[in-house]
Amino acid sequence: MELKNKENQLFDTLSKLDSIADLVKNSKEENHYLKSLSSKLEMERDELEQKSKKLEIEKNLILQELKEFEQKLYSKESNSSELLNKIDQVEKENQKIRDELSVIDQELQDSRYKVIEFEKNNLELLKEVSSKESELQITKKELDELKKNKKEFVKKIDELSQETDAMLGEFEKW
């Protein structure tokens, strides 16, 4: 009866081991997915930074043109109405660039938030994996102990069986 209980405990332990192994596998898959997402977010952030740099260069060029136009306006080298129109046009383009920079900045902030969330989730998953691996090690030790106990139990039963056979042989001789 005790052997039957030990076997049931052994099967329960093996079932727990399978469950833990599935959890570890799922955690590793989730970790891989999160790393992939982080990589994509990093690429997106880099692209946004490149766009921001381009827009900054364009802004500087426009500001330079605006200064040149202002100089021409004050020097009266050309028709002032033409220059005023060009200045208005440059200011509109400048405002457009500011709006695009604002959108890009917001996208960059969103990407940073996503990266922070990813890192937080990744850390939690790593802690959970570590915990599950510790549980797995403990369960493996328990299983090894149960196997050892089972071997000893079987060995003792064999010894008792041999002793019983020997006693029965002695009994028959009597």
Q: What DSSP string runs through 34-60?
A: HHHHHHHHHHHHHHHHHHHHHHHHHHH
Residue 149 has pLDDT above 80, yes or no: yes
Residue 155 has pLDDT above 70, yes or no: yes
Give me the residue spans of the domains in the chain. Answer: 2-146
Given a contact cutoff of 8 angstroms between Cβ atoms, the answer to whether 132 and 20 are in contact is yes
**Most confident segment among 16-25, 79-88, 147-156:** 147-156
Q: For the chain, how long is the longest CA-to-CA vector?
A: 140
pLDDT band at 80 (very low <50, low <70, confident <90, very high): low
Q: Which helix (H) or strand (E) holds 28?
A: helix 2-75
- Percentages helix, strand, coil for the chain (3-state, rounded to 5) are 95, 0, 5
Residue 92 has pLDDT above 90, yes or no: yes
Q: Of 19, 24, 25, 28, give the one whose Cα is nearest residue 122.
A: 28
Average pLDDT in the chain: 84
Q: What is the pTM of this model?
A: 0.36
Other C-beta atoms lying within 10 Å of the C-beta of residue 23: 17
pLDDT digits (tens, 9 = 90+) for 109-137: 888 888 888 889 889 988 988 888 898 89
Per cent of the chain over pLDDT 90 is 15
Residue 86 has pLDDT above 80, yes or no: yes
Structure tokens that stand for 25 in this block: 């596998």
- So what's the pLDDT on residue 76? 59
pLDDT band at 73 (very low <50, low <70, confident <90, very high): low
Residues 6+ apart with CB under 8 A from 93: 62
Residue 1 has pLDDT above 80, yes or no: no
Other C-beta atoms lying within 10 Å of the C-beta of residue 138: 11
Residue 84 has pLDDT above 90, yes or no: no
Given a contact cutoff of 8 angstroms between Cβ atoms, the answer to whether 66 and 87 are in contact is yes
2-146 maps to which CATH number?
1.10.287
Of 19-23, 59-63, 73-77, 136-140, the poorest mean pLDDT is in 73-77
